[in-house]
A and B are shown apart, each in its own frame.
Chain A
Amino acid sequence: MINRRTFAKHAGLAAAASIVPVISLAQAAREPRRIGFLMPLTGGSGKLGQMMLEGAALAVEEVNAGPGAGGRPVELVQEDSQALAQQGIAGFRKLVDVNKTEVIFTGWTSVVSAIAPVASEAKVMLVSASTASPAVRGISPYFQSTWMFDDETVKLILPYAKDKLKVKSLGILTVVSDLGSALAQAVKADWTRIGGAIAAEDVHQPGEASFRPILLKMLNARPDAIYLTSSNGKQLAQIVRQARELGYKGAFLSYGAFEDPEVLALGAQADGCYYSSPSYDAASPSAAGRKFVDAFQKKHGRLPNVHQANHYDLVMLYAMVADGLTKQNKALTGASFREYLTTSVPRYQGAAGDYRLNYKDGSVLRSSIVKVVRDGKFTKLDDLG
């Protein structure tokens, strides 16, 4: 029965219903662009992942304070991969199915190896500033790294060790994993090629925490330096600590994994850990980096490290692509992101240095430096090329 009350109710509802589409259209225009952040946030690599998040978060703030990315604000949706493949897949599923992200920032070889095939099928773009293994070279057209693969960085740090650090015999401690064996192979090949001797080699489980027996055996061969392949900051710290306790005074070599707060926490024992890194030096940044370093320092009260700079750059790169796509009047999807990136962005200048992106196999070339842990800080030593 239609009386005045129900009529008013219906009229009110009709009026509301006509406004709603208008509101949601306006809302859609300001609906944030969601970027997945599928990284270890807990566990042995958790501290590092959290630091990387800080870098990305700062960039998000800056982008949102301005006109946004392609006119819309940006939002990072975090999923904790714990650097484990299973968690990576579950996180990926959630980001794509539930949060509908088209681009995901991710890292760690184990995770990337697992999700890359799925990402290819789902046409979701993966960009990474924290995957080092040459095993992911060319793994998927939907994967792009902004961190150099370590079969290439190995070629940089080994000659440095031989010439400048006067290392004659090398020990190699390989973790049982794709990254570990790929690295060990590259190290062996390159080290012997430049005339170095291999003192000892051994393998350890990914979950190992007790290295004494292995180290005793290795140290008995008196290496001048030991190359560590683990990507777990806590584990690296454990190895260094226990080796120092056993009286090892030589150097440690690694790819970028040493730049981790867990290693700094060792204090004086961490002195003598050398590693290659993209040329970023918080103490004397480039012009592009200065702005970032100052903003980070202001927000957090400390200098940002190379990982934070790299992840800052990831967000800025995303914003750049989003702007480009909006100018072309194209919607941002994984496929269109990839299309734009591979056709219009051969090089990128970021806060962490410059990137020469190689889209044929998802790799990148960065100008590199060698750094060392000294007096509780990551210190640049020299340029590597």
Chain B
Amino acid sequence: MEQLTLLFNLLIDGFGTGCLYALAGIGFSLLWWLADIVHLAHGGVIIAAGYAGYIVLTTLGAPLWVALLAAILTAVVLGVLIDRLAYRRLVQRGSGEMGMLTASLGLLICLEYAITIAFGPEGVQADPGAARAPLFPGSGVLLDTYTLLVVGVTAVAFAGLAFLMRFTQLGKNMRAVAENPSLAHSLGIKTLQVTTAASALAAAAGAPAALVYLYNRGVTPHDAIHIVLMGAIVAIFGGRGSIAGALIAGLLIGVAESLMVWFFDAGWREVMTFGLLYILLLVRPQGLLGTQAR
């Protein structure tokens, strides 16, 4: 019976981690699908959002929802700036894929180390406190308010994105641009504006992920590249541009990582994740729910 409880707890833990990965990945996936932009700097943006949230929580002593707003605001400002000042200009110059990738990588490094210089390399962490108290003490099942909150936020975010994609003009425009940018342009859609909106959305989606990191294990500047890497893995697994795909992929990876402890020494976890990614890229690069790469 105890083994069953352990399994259940690992599943709960994995689910929480999975939501985190899905949130981190959906932004990356959107931009990639829409404008062929590999937004490596997304990792840096998320870290910055995490720090913003932390500062609001601790220095200003503000409640959680204010911290979330601060995180979203920081992320959106950074995301849009990067899009307009960097990506848009590079695209207009005809900079190739390599140039975009290099620039994005450079921006990621700049963000990471600017934060390191300002706040030190140790990272910051927030204490979830009472939210981590199990809802059913004595049962052995470790479901707490915190996990429910994370799942809830993820659900809201993804539902919101899905709604946006399906039922709003912006969503329709985005799909048009993703499908065929020149056609969309000739139809009168302002493609650059759409891309900027997508950047803002992508950044906003990453902000809750930043806060979850903050409470889970702390936000460290050095995590930037790992975060965006997980985001990329989720985007690839799920298929670029697929909202449902990102969610499913994130959850699968999160649960797999947790359950892996059951079978293997914890040390080889990363090898597993990247090994699976490797195989997936060889076998089905368009991921679970994506369409064939353009």
Residues of chain A touching chain B, judged by Cβ–Cβ distance below 8 Å, are 42-44, 46-47, 176, 202-205, 208-210, 212-214, 216-217, 220, 234, 238, 241-242, 245-247
Contact = CB atoms under 8 A, between A and B. Distances in A.
Contact of A216 (B9, B121, B122, B220): B9
A47 B216 CA distance: 22
A213 B13 contact: yes
16 contacts: A42-B120, A42-B121, A43-B122, A202-B265, A203-B267, A204-B266, A205-B266, A209-B218, A210-B216, A212-B13, A213-B266, A217-B10, A220-B3, A245-B128, A246-B142, A247-B142
- Which range contains the number of B residues in contact with the other chain? 20 to 34
Interface string B186-225: 0000000000000000000000000000001110100000
Contacts of A245: 128, 132
Interface string B5-43: 110011001100100000000000000000000000000
A209 B122 CA distance: 12
A43 B2 CA distance: 39
Most chain A CB within 10 A, of B14, B17, B220, B267, is at B267
Interface stretch (B104-112, B162-170, B254-262): B254-262
Given A210-B17, A238-B218, 17 more contacts: A42-B121, A203-B266, A203-B267, A204-B267, A209-B217, A210-B216, A210-B217, A212-B13, A213-B10, A213-B266, A214-B266, A216-B142, A217-B261, A220-B2, A220-B3, A220-B9, A238-B217
Interface string B214-243: 001110100000000000000000000000
Given A213-B10, A220-B2, A205 B267 contact: yes
B267 A213 contact: no
Q: What is the predominant secondary structure among interface residues of chain B facing chain A? A: helix
B134 interface: yes
A234 B121 CA distance: 12
Contacts of B14: 213
Nearest to A266: B127
Contacts of B142: 216, 246-247
A216 B267 contact: no
Contact of A234 (B2, B6, B122): B122
Nearest to B13: A212
A234 B258 CA distance: 22
Contacts of B270: 205
A43 B121 contact: yes
Interface string B71-82: 000000000000
B141 to A, nearest CB: 11
A87 to B, nearest CB: 13
Most chain B CB within 10 A, of A176, A210, A238, A241, is at A210
A211 to B, nearest CB: 8
B6 A220 contact: yes
A204 B261 CA distance: 11
A202 B266 contact: yes
A43 B120 CA distance: 8
Contacts of B120: 42
B206 to A, nearest CB: 19
The list of the 6 closest CB pairs from A to B, nearest first, reads A213-B261, A220-B6, A245-B132, A209-B217, A210-B217, A213-B258
B277 to A, nearest CB: 18
Contacts of A213: 10, 13-14, 257-258, 260-261, 266
Given A176-B267, A246-B142, A247-B142, A216 B261 contact: yes
B218 to A, nearest CB: 6
Contacts of B265: 202-203
Interface string B100-127: 0000000000000000000011100001
Interface string B244-277: 0000000000000110111001110010000000
A242 B265 CA distance: 19
A216 B10 contact: yes
A214 B261 contact: yes
Nearest to B261: A213
Contacts of A242: 217
Contacts of B134: 247
A213 B261 CA distance: 6
Nearest to B131: A245
Given A209-B220, A245-B132, A246-B142, A216 B6 contact: yes
Contacts of B128: 245
A202 B261 CA distance: 9
B266 A216 contact: no
Nearest to A217: B261
B36 to A, nearest CB: 32
